[in-house]
Amino acid sequence: MTRISILGIPNDDNSSYLKGAADAPALIRQELHSDAYSIWSETGVDLGAEGRLVDHGDIGFDGDCDPWELIERHVGQALASGDPLISLGGDHAITHPIMRAVRRRHPRLTILHIDAHPDIYHAYQGNPRSHTSPFARIMEESLADRLIQVGLRTVNDHHREQFRRFGVEVIEAGQMGAGIRLDIATPVYISMDLDALDPAFAPGVSHREPGGLSPRQVIDLIHAVGQPIVGADIVEYNPHRDISGLTATVAAKLLKEIGGVMVRNARMNAV
């Protein structure tokens, strides 16, 4: 049986506007396991099957160790089994240390980054670890071969300079049509920022940006990935901004669909 690992990374130290994303992992888990919903994915995978989900709990941040070292170490331990890992943030800054651990296991790798924001500032408010900067660090350290960013709608001139510098492939929200298919030939890491979605679907984020994607568009994009998905993160859920737990429900749904494709593609590659 293909297993899926889950790891909570409750860290929002580098959020630039509002804190709160550190409280997200427990609430996403609560929705994932709620009796109100099926835990089957649309791709026909029962994530509730015995042994399917391996939950490594949450990383404890006590201040005695650099959070980046803790994240990299715990992610590496979770990946040691060979199972794909879904990390629950936390703000988007955590993707940088996650990718340090992921890259050690995958010499060929494409990141599919779904977000309203490029998060590729060289630094923001003087902080190179800002949640607006992880992909600058990731590309500087060659932690991926390709970076594909989908759903963007806040691009400025600095971002465009960074796109050129790092060879980023961009599909802005206004370019999103039905049935987009990405030509990817390597294993894939999905970084899912919930503010990629229009605030009508996911109000529980710190940086609401109208004009975003629908859950259906994001799910269809995930389903279209044909290569192994070796890891993913779901970040920037801020429960303090949510309405009736709507965003937590969407986050849990996306977790199920990412997990379902992880299992589906592992089966396909095993044949």
Can you say which residues are annotated as belonging to the binding site for Mn(2+)?
Answer: 92, 115, 117, 119, 193, 195
Take residue 237 and report the two structure tokens written for it.
């859920």
Question: Could you report how far apart the first and last alpha carbons of the chain are, in Å?
Answer: 14
Binding-site residue numbers are 92, 115, 117, 119, 193, 195
**Residue-wise over 75-113: b if at least 16 C-beta within 10 A, else e?**
bbebbeeebbbbbbbbbbbbbbbbbbbbbeebeebbbbb
Rounded CA-CA distance 80/74 in Å is 10
Strands (E), 2-84: 4-9, 53-58
Residues 109/251/84/6 CA torsion (nearest 10 deg): 140
Residue 171: phi and psi, rounded to 5, are: -120, 100
* Residue positions counted in the chain: 271
CA distances from 209 to 6, 26, 218 (A): 28, 25, 16
- Determine contact, residues 261/222, Cβ cutoff 8 Å: yes
Take residue 178 and report the two structure tokens written for it.
């039905």
